[in-house]
């Protein structure tokens, strides 16, 4: 498909008011489709199994994508795609994808439920607001972890004491600082060519363009987002177009709200599937990031969000295999055992359902209370699940044993501690109390049958 033709539909498509889009094309449309396909969420579930149900979820998401299309909020018009266009794009999605270069290269693949091949692991606290020193320290803490295959990062919001503003020269300086810090830090830990999901400090397309001129390279990736719900913007269409012929990968991102306009977890799963099918075209997606947001708890470690990730990964693996990387955004911050339990539970749900792992957006990603240690937990849990051939049934048993250890804090802040209070910033190793918590949680996991290193 000619992408410029897709963009042109932003100006020729049906004109719709934003409020009408939200109600008629999202909320009511999803409600009707759930009824048509007899789909719902059983309260308390954390894992999906039934193949017929999973195929119905894919069909429901496909119907929503065909019937509603996607709304360009800047032009107030609908970009409609035909049934053939949606199916062709889904069939042609990448089944393998290499990030990074040389000795640091890693190949992601389209996984399936209970896949015995380990998931790829992308480490970082994407989008978390940081100053430059904290940015460098946190990236170093996870880039040095052997179980990590790709790195991402927080967002630089302060450059030399100046606040970074959207569409401003300060955004250019933030992106230059981000790319410089990523390049130097990854080289410092001996991984100069590791793939990076970068341009996280970019608020507008200006920042993205700066990143492309400041060290973004083939095998790296940047975000091309779909806004809530089923909404595209002109600046994200620009992001999608700018990677052409560069080797830089487009990571589509849909942060569908569980309990929002799409309804409960079942409606949100339908909306997420539709978002990804549309993103194949409007985001020129090379791979997808699956990031459900719980309306009440935010955290992806909530039951409904883990179930949604399980449904989405399996629905695509059965009907239109592609590469899906699921975000892990726990409620808790570094220096709390709850964080490690959240990460372990969420990592199990994703791995046994056929997804790859990205995180951790510790402390809901709102404060830089994060470290490489929870990224280590994510990577080691994923490797153990695949290596031990943990089934979905066994995974669910472990998750339900972990839930009582953290579920009570999902409605609280539990922000934990900033990086410098959980890591020795000279040695870049966890402080003894933080390492001790990790070791205790590791023993708990082993007692439940998961032998992590």
Q: Please write down the HEC assignment for all residues of the chain.
A: CCHHHHHHHHHHCCECCHHHHHHHHHHHHHHHHHHHCCCCCCCCCCCCCCHHHHHHHHHHHHHHHHHHCEEECCCCEEECCCHHHHHHHHHCCCCEEEECCHHHCEEEECCCCCCCCCCCEEECCCCCEEEHHHHHHHHHHHHCCCCCCEECCCEEEEECCEECCCCCHHHHHHHHHHHHHHHHHHHHCCCCCCEEEECCCCCCHHHHHHHHCCCCCCCCEEEEEEECCCEECHHHHHHHHHCCCCCCEEEEEECCEECECCECHHHHHHHHHHHHHHHHHHCCCCEEEECCEECCCECCCCHHHHHHHHHHHHHHHHHCCCCEEEEECCCCCCCCHHHHHHHHHHHHHHHHHCCEEEECCCHHHCCCCCCHHHHHHHHHHHHHHHHCCCCHHHHHHHHHHHHHHCHHHCCCCCCCCCHHHCEECCCCEECHHHHHHHHHHHHHHHHCCCCCC
Task: Give the model's confidence band at 398: pLDDT under 50 very low, under 70 low, under 90 confident, else very high.
Answer: very high
Lowest mean pLDDT among 182-186, 212-216, 313-317: 212-216
* Predicted local confidence at residue 270, as pLDDT: 98
pLDDT at 131: 94
pLDDT at 167 over 90: no
**pLDDT at residue 132, as a whole number:** 95
List beta partners, residue 221.
197, 249
Residues 116, 118: Cα–Cα separation, whole Å: 6
Q: What is the pLDDT of residue 127?
A: 87
Question: Helices 303-319 and 337-353: crossing angle, nearest 10°?
Answer: 20
Residue 50 pLDDT class (50, 70, 90 cuts): very high
pLDDT at 104: 97
- Structure token pair of residue 144: 């040095």
Burial label for 69, CB within 10 Å (0-12, 13-18, 19+), is buried
Per-residue tokens: 53: 């149900």
pLDDT in tens, 99-156: 999 999 999 999 999 999 999 999 999 989 999 999 999 999 999 999 999 999 999 9
pLDDT of residue 453: 83
All residues at 6 or more sequence positions from 168 whose CB lies less than 8 Å from its CB, including other chains? none
**pTM exceeds 0.85, yes or no:** yes
As a whole number, mean pLDDT of residues 237-242 equals: 96
| pLDDT at residue 218 tops 90 | yes
pLDDT in tens, 254-291: 999 999 999 999 999 999 999 999 999 999 999 999 99
Is 327's pLDDT higher than 80? yes
Would you say residue 355 has pLDDT above 80?
Answer: yes
Decide if pLDDT at 405 tops 80: yes
- With 80 as the cut, is the pLDDT of residue 335 above it? yes
In degrees, rounded to 5, the angle at the alpha carbon of residue 126 between the alpha carbons of residues 10 and 292 is 65
Closest CA to 349 of 77, 41, 62, 114: 114
Strand partners, 129: 155
What is the pLDDT at residue 439?
A: 98
Residue with tokens 């987002």: 225
The pLDDT mean for the chain works out to: 97
């Amino acid at each position: 498909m000619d992408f410029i033709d897709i963009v042109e539909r932003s100006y020729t498509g049906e004109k719709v008011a934003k409020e009408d889009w939200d109600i008629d094309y999202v909320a009511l449309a999803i409600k009707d489709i759930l009824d048509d396909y007899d789909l719902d969420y059983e309260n308390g579930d954390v894992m999906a199994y039934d193949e017929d149900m999973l195929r119905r979820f894919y069909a429901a998401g496909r119907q929503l994508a065909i019937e509603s299309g996607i709304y360009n909020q800047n032009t107030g018009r609908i970009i409609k795609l035909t049934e053939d266009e949606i199916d062709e794009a889904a069939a042609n999605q990448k089944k393998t994808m290499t990030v990074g270069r040389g000795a640091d290269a890693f190949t992601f693949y389209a996984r399936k439920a209970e896949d015995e091949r380990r998931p790829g692991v992308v480490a970082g606290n994407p989008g978390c607001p940081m100053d430059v020193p904290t940015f460098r320290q946190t990236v170093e803490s996870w880039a040095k972890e052997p179980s990590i295959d790709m790195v991402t990062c927080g967002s630089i919001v302060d450059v030399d004491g100046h606040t970074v503003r959207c569409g401003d020269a300060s955004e250019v300086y933030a992106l230059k600082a981000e790319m410089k810090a990523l390049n130097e830090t990854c080289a410092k830990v001996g991984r100069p060519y590791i793939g990076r999901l970068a341009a996280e400090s970019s608020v507008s397309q200006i920042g993205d363009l700066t990143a492309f001129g400041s060290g973004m390279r083939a095998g790296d990736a940047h975000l091309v987002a779909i806004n809530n719900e089923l909404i595209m913007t002109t600046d994200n269409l620009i992001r999608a177009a700018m990677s052409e012929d560069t080797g830089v990968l487009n990571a589509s991102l849909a942060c569908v709200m569980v309990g929002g306009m799409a309804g409960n977890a079942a409606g949100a799963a339908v909306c997420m599937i539709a978002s990804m099918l549309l993103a194949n075209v409007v985001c020129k997606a090379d791979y997808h990031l699956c990031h459900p947001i719980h309306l009440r708890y935010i955290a992806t470690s909530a039951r409904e969000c883990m179930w949604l990730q399980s449904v989405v990964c399996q629905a695509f693996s059965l009907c239109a295999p592609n590469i899906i990387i699921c975000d892990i955004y726990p409620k808790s911050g570094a220096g709390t055992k709850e964080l490690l339990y959240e990460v372990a539970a969420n990592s199990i749900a994703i791995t046994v359902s056929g997804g790859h792992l990205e995180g951790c957006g510790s402390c809901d990603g709102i404060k830089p209370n994060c470290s490489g240690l929870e990224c280590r937990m994510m990577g080691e849990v994923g490797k153990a699940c695949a290596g031990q051939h943990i089934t979905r049934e066994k995974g669910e048993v472990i998750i339900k044993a972990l839930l009582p250890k953290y579920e009570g804090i999902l409605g609280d802040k539990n922000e934990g501690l900033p990086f410098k209070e959980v890591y020795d910033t000279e040695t870049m190793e966890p402080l003894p109390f933080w390492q001790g918590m990790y070791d205790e949680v590791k023993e708990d996991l082993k007692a439940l049958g998961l032998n992590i290193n």
